[in-house]
Chains A and B, each alone.
Chain A
Amino acid sequence: EIVLTQSPTTMAASPGEKVTLTCLASSSVNYMYWYQQKSSASPKLLIYYTSSLASGVPDRFSGSGSGTSYSLTISSMEAEDAAIYYCLQLTSTPYTFGAGTKLELK
C-alpha cells in the first residue's frame, strides 16, 4: 500500500500570503490529485494529473511534483480557501488519501 504523508498537518495563512502544501508518497506514483473539503461538504477536485486545474477552480491554485514528492500551491491566500486539503494517489490499489492539511485564515 502506498502511504501518503501530508505536511503540515495544520497551518494558518494571512490574506495574500503564498501557501504551499506537501504530499510525500512512500513509493513513486504516476500522478497526484488534490481535493478541497469545507466543513461537512463533499470533497471538491482541485488538481488532476499532478498539475492540471479542474474546471472552475481559480488559477491561484497550482500543483507540481513527480515521483514521491508533490505540492499544492495557493499563490495568494483568500478567505474562501480555508479548508482541509487532501492528496490522492491512483497509481495502485488500494487507492490512498493523505491524512489532510487543515488550512486556516490568519
Chain B
Amino acid sequence: QVTLKESGPGILQPSQTLSLTCTFSGFSLSTYGMGVGWIRQPSGKGLEWLANIWWDDDKYYNPSLKNRLTISKDTSNNQAFLKITNVDTADTATYYCARMPYYFDYWGQGVMVTVSS
C-alpha cells in the first residue's frame, strides 16, 4: 500500500525559507526508475510542478522559480524534502508530493502553507 504525507511549518514570514518533508511508505526511492515530485496549488487555482528527484539522485527543477528550490532525499528513512528560499505571499499554496514511476500515480493529501507578515 503506497502512502505519502507532506509536512511543513503551516505559516511563515516573507523572506524566510520554507522546508517541506514528504514521508512515504509502500515503495523505495532506491528502486530503479522511481522518483518523487513536488507540486503546489494556490487556493482556487491550478497545479504547478516544482521539482523532481530520482532514485539515482538526479534532480529536475522548474526554472520559473529560478534558484530558490532545493530537492533532496533520505532513502533510508523514506523521505523527500523541498526547500524554497526567500518566500513571499505568492508562495502561499497547498503543497503536494507525489510518487513518480514515469508519471505521478500516488499523491499525498497536501499541506497548506501560508506566507504572511
Distance from B111 Cβ to chain A, minimum over Cβ atoms (Å): 11
Contact A97 B110 (CB under 8 A): no
Interface size class of B (residues with CB under 8 A): 20 to 34
Segment with Cβ contacts to B, from A16-24, A75-83, A85-93: A85-93
Would you call the interface of chain A mostly helix, strand, loop, or mixed? loop
Contact A42 B110 (CB under 8 A): yes
Q: A42-B109, A42-B110 are in contact. Are A96 and B49 (CB under 8 A)?
A: yes
Decide yes or no whether A45 CB sits under 8 A from chain B. Answer: yes
A interface list, Cβ under 8 A from B: 33, 35, 40, 42-45, 48-49, 54, 86, 88, 90, 93-100
B interface list, Cβ under 8 A from A: 37, 46-49, 52, 60, 62-64, 94, 96, 102-105, 107-110
